[in-house]
Structure 1
């Protein structure tokens, strides 16, 4: 048993981290369905309880439907990860995550990737909970605590940026290129591959004044990433208790440690957001002498530290505080309506904080990505720091950003604890890294087949996936006396059947195998 638990813990941590390391599509939230019991139905505002309701609706902590409800719930190593692409197939996504070295694009394949991915959304969400505890005390309310990492990414790049990413110095943006023999020639679109392969000195503007600014190059593009480590505390209680009406309220506070922030947005040829702050784990440096800063570059990881350990123990570079608050109405014991404000607060990034220069992109080196996985690229493919890099950064003392705040509204109806069906609407309240681009809509529910198994299913759309329709599905197992719970789920079962179904492909997996419940009956028997 110990060996199985050890293997499970390693697998869930590895799966969550590997998605972050591999995907080249920085992300936005996916309705915060981090709990495996909620992922399969796609709605949560009036469903979740105990520590799983943290970040969704803290008022649900006041729920106690019967004396059989657990007094204490403890869970370990629950994870939910997903990746969405409006262009890539299921096979491409899986290979990008697990075997990026299988890709080795030729110049022709790189050129074909540009129209395939330009102006197409890519999004991902990774949530890894290390530990969660929920305590329900009759006539007092419910308390909950959890510690987890949340990683959110989103990107939508215009044709110019997409072409530079894949073709590098061969991109049509650069009017001249330098060959290996030192010869400088015009960058004609009709150059044969044998000439393109000799380009080693980079692409550049002979007259830098003719080069475009970063605002012009990134126009109508969004590149966003946020990685937080959260320590959450929540409380909920019942304030009205009548036969036909019960009202619950709750609130929560979260202490945040920022690991990574990337927020680049350009509109009307101007940079609107230009913030970057990365943990020293990522190796971004201005050089060894702080009094003589060089162009920002990336150094190799520390010797002796594996990539897995390095990212799991990433050094924070930001601190912040966030708040949640919610309310829930129960009418005639089986009709629920709830609303919650989540992630109200801010975070200060004070370590390795940078602003993207609003200068001009005059030249770069690198032949461009030969895989969809940017983290598998080398400096020969594309340079993100140093001279002739894609980005030029300026160090700053501090960056203050708002948290991705949302308004959640939901309702549901429960029929004899056998069927529970409802809806959710999630409205983004600001436009910051980690938040939705659009309003998210979902319907779904649970069917308790018997006392051991619960089946979940739903439909949702919006958020950062445009018109894509997801079909979440999951199954949960309860021990014979409901002291133990485990389950698996996916945010879109249709993507495992057909790629690009209903507007795109979502590859996701959620799991929890270490969730334990203790109720009042068992405590009495123990005494």
Structure 2
């Protein structure tokens, strides 16, 4: 349903989405997951079609020479002058929920999350394609990179609360989280630019700073040894809050604020930075200046005191309408749910974005045990998506899978994003 789930998800499926949806609603009293994971990756930078056309040679393997139209086509990959790349994986290691009707519903969850966000200005590719013509300026200051690997241990609670007269039902929920951070990297600032004036004088500035904690690939003694239970490099707390309201039998709305909190990084904290201002105006000393600039761009490391990073905070607003229960429908074959969501991130921490995301999802059940799901979304990290999912819903078990990028199956030669999710849970 293109992640249109703020007012839709139930049981353990609602963890990290809207804790209010945990509240007892006649569902099974106990659920736990056996397998649950989601993988996403995508980039504005290039799709398979462009890659095959321009970067793999012609049909004989010979180089492809770009004309002006080809260059414009490649540069069109940068909407608003920026190309965004994002990848992430989310695994529920442990998830269980249980309902105590009069008391409320509880859930325990341990989830492993890792992700990368990268923003690249069009200036990089313009420089590669055109070099530095006279009276040109390339601004690289909007370059941004963030990577985060963390584990969340959460306890959630939800219950029905008194509702105003215009609502049939109202519930509230909260999740409290202990967060262990294992790796973090972020470009904290970048003010790099390059200019060439009318007299061929080249000037500019290299000025960037990257903060690390946990894994630090720039260290000379870096080791790639892996352990599934590493010592946290940072710890923090976070919480989710949410509301769910049933306006009518066929209409449900939801509101949630998710992943509020921060991580304090204390172990293996480093700063990698470089700074230089340069002017190339003497061809005899140009190579010396280039060598010096090369050293500056490689940067230097220094140990720093601890620092904080935010969790990927998101506001979710959603509504779901059961068309088969609409008062103007007297008979309907099966069940049909239509849902709308609005998601607004408050930072660009890995897995998040400040670009708003809108989605429309549809679930049709010709039989109660067989959901057919689809949806579209626009905005966010992924841009436009066409989703598809299905599964088998039994009285004691649910098996579900989905992709947000069904267009990759429809048009495999032009896709630039991929995602897949799978879940298997037991209900008692």
TM-score normalised according to structure 2 size: 0.76
* Alignment equivalent of 2:5, drawn from 44, 52, 61: 44
Q: Secondary structure at the match of 1:52?
A: helix
Q: 1:124 to 1:92 in 2, by over 3 A?
A: farther
Q: CA deviation at 1:152?
A: 2.3
Q: CA deviation at 1:72?
A: 0.2
Aligned counterpart, 1:407: 315
> What pairs up with 1:407-486 in 2 under 5 angstroms?
407-414=315-322, 415-416=324-325, 418-465=335-382, 468-479=383-394, 482-486=395-399
CA distance in 1: counterparts of 2:147 and 2:338, whole angstroms: 33
- The question of whether the paired residues in 1 share the 8 Å contact of 2:147 and 2:349 is answered with no
Q: 1:107 to 1:79 in 2, by over 3 A?
A: same
Aligned counterpart, 1:81: 39
Q: Secondary structure at the match of 1:157?
A: strand
> What pairs up with 1:359-374 in 2 under 5 angstroms?
359-360=275-276
> What pairs up with 1:245-256 in 2 under 5 angstroms?
245-256=168-179
- The question of whether the paired residues in 2 share the 8 Å contact of 1:277 and 1:351 is answered with no
- The question of whether the paired residues in 2 share the 8 Å contact of 1:322 and 1:345 is answered with yes
Q: 1:298 to 1:84 in 2, by over 3 A?
A: farther
Indicate yes or no: 2:425 matched with 1:515: yes
**Going by fraction, where is strand more abundant, 1 or 2?**
2
CA distance in 2: counterparts of 1:334 and 1:427, whole angstroms: 26
Q: 1:162 to 1:429 in 2, by over 3 A?
A: same
Q: Secondary structure at the match of 2:21?
A: helix
Aligned counterpart, 1:493: 406
> Which range is displaced more, 439-448 or 424-433?
424-433
- The question of whether the paired residues in 2 share the 8 Å contact of 1:346 and 1:400 is answered with yes
Q: Secondary structure at the match of 2:12?
A: helix
- Count residues in correspondence: 373
- The question of whether the paired residues in 2 share the 8 Å contact of 1:340 and 1:407 is answered with yes
Q: Secondary structure at the match of 1:276?
A: strand
CA distance in 1: counterparts of 2:223 and 2:125, whole angstroms: 26
Q: CA deviation at 1:351?
A: 1.5
Q: Secondary structure at the match of 1:47?
A: coil
* Alignment equivalent of 1:505, drawn from 399, 406, 416: 416
* Alignment equivalent of 1:146, drawn from 100, 109, 113: 109
CA distance in 2: counterparts of 1:272 and 1:447, whole angstroms: 54
Aligned counterpart, 2:214: 279
Q: Give me the CA root mean square deviation.
A: 3.8
Indicate yes or no: 2:184 matched with 1:261: yes
CA distance in 2: counterparts of 1:235 and 1:360, whole angstroms: 53
Indicate yes or no: 2:256 matched with 1:321: no
- The question of whether the paired residues in 1 share the 8 Å contact of 2:208 and 2:275 is answered with no
- The question of whether the paired residues in 1 share the 8 Å contact of 2:32 and 2:97 is answered with yes
- The question of whether the paired residues in 2 share the 8 Å contact of 1:456 and 1:474 is answered with yes
- The question of whether the paired residues in 2 share the 8 Å contact of 1:51 and 1:134 is answered with yes
Q: Secondary structure at the match of 1:329?
A: strand
- The question of whether the paired residues in 1 share the 8 Å contact of 2:145 and 2:187 is answered with yes
Aligned counterpart, 2:56: none
- The question of whether the paired residues in 1 share the 8 Å contact of 2:347 and 2:354 is answered with no
TM-score normalised according to structure 1 size: 0.62
- The question of whether the paired residues in 1 share the 8 Å contact of 2:396 and 2:426 is answered with yes
> What pairs up with 1:150-189 in 2 under 5 angstroms?
150-158=113-121
> Which range is displaced more, 411-420 or 247-256?
411-420
- The question of whether the paired residues in 2 share the 8 Å contact of 1:50 and 1:142 is answered with no
Superimposed CA distance per residue, residues 333-366 of structure 1 (whole angstroms, 9 cap, x where no aligned partner):
321111111111111111122223252399xxxx
Q: CA deviation at 1:476?
A: 1.4
- The question of whether the paired residues in 2 share the 8 Å contact of 1:351 and 1:398 is answered with yes
Q: 1:351 to 1:284 in 2, by over 3 A?
A: farther
Q: 1:319 to 1:486 in 2, by over 3 A?
A: same
Structure 1: gaps of 5 or more residues: 1-39, 94-104, 174-187, 189-211, 286-296, 303-309, 363-385, 519-527
Q: Secondary structure at the match of 1:44?
A: coil
- The question of whether the paired residues in 2 share the 8 Å contact of 1:424 and 1:442 is answered with yes
- The question of whether the paired residues in 2 share the 8 Å contact of 1:361 and 1:390 is answered with no
- The question of whether the paired residues in 2 share the 8 Å contact of 1:63 and 1:248 is answered with no
